[in-house]
Structure 1
Amino acid sequence: MRVQVVEHPLVAHKLTVLRKKETPSITFRQLTEELVMLLAYEATRDVAMEDVDIQTPVTSTTGRRLARPTPLVVPILRAGLGMLEGMVRMAPTAEVGFLGMARNEETLDIVTYAERLPADLTGRHVFVLDPMLATGGTLVESIRFLYERNASRVTCICLLAAPEGIERLERELEGVEVDLFVAAIDERLDENAYIVPGLGDAGDRLYGLAE
């Protein structure tokens, strides 16, 4: 697994404002979109391309475009939805699917409760959007789910990651090709599995439900 922390002054600045507890939801959503655009710029650096013949106002030439089949963007419900706009602004020809997963409180297993994806992902480069990589359980199962549908490659984009989550991905997905792009790797998880220092519950802050 390849892990890349995107180090850039604008990333650091926007992340700092996201962390502040007094940042209102409307600003949080806007900054999340902008931050995802910066992360997506790096995460798509080696996306598959193909030549295309075009006509400019002056002459004919050969340009480059995203190869077919185009990338598939998959936000993990619900907080991943807050990252979607920034991603599709950077890759407007990409298709979008959805994946919802939650922990069964009795068995502690991760179960899929919603999905809207092609049945066959052969040849598709899938970009998974999930703001927080905390324990890693949901992301592990999401990646497995996508590879079971024959995805050719999976790239994950997260705002923050905890060392524990990264270690779990490396342990449980050993030998699986996964790229992870994050704005920062924080210190640890607390007793409630929140990332420290973190930014709180990303979903609640995106949708105005935080206290």
Structure 2
Amino acid sequence: MATFISRLILLCTLSIPAFSFAITIPGNIHPERYTFFLTDRGGEMLREMNDAAVSVKLNNKVGFSAEAQSKAAAANISPLLYAASPLEQNFIRYDSKPVKALTCLVTTRTMPGQNKNYTWEETYCLDETGAAYIGTKGWPSRAIVEKSCEVGVPSCPVYLGLNNDPPTMRNDAAQYIPYNSKRVSRNK
């Protein structure tokens, strides 16, 4: 009986990571990370893009509207949308509130080609709720950023923590709560 209970506890302990939600960032992660505090206009712009992304997923649309694409181009980032996955498996902010801050990093991706390798950079960001954003033109646009700080400075909040961060590093990351239509309709 004691063996059964110890194995049950071990199984539960080992399965906890399988039930947690984390974003996987592919490629070679650059060491620099910054937290960007958004202007009111920038926060509203990302809120509108998030609302458009939720609409795309809920209404089975193919992609963003031209207006949402224009905002994404102006901000240099957009919500990270996994096209083949339902809204519940995406990290899209669905509370229709403006974004206040993002912690971002840049990664270099490489894809082997027939004659040469193709390399490009992607920017990944998490906001204060754990929602994810992606860009391909460097850091978020200065037009949407009020101020920024470098991750590692004691007064700088960190919304995107990495597995290899030292245990003493500040971590303000929120556990992302996936979309659930029952919870969303109850909160309205």
TM bin, normalised by shorter chain, reads under 0.3
* TM-score between the two structures when normalised by the length of structure 1: 0.22
* TM-score between the two structures when normalised by the length of structure 2: 0.24
Which structure has greater strand proportion? 1
Larger Rg, first or second structure (1 or 2):
2
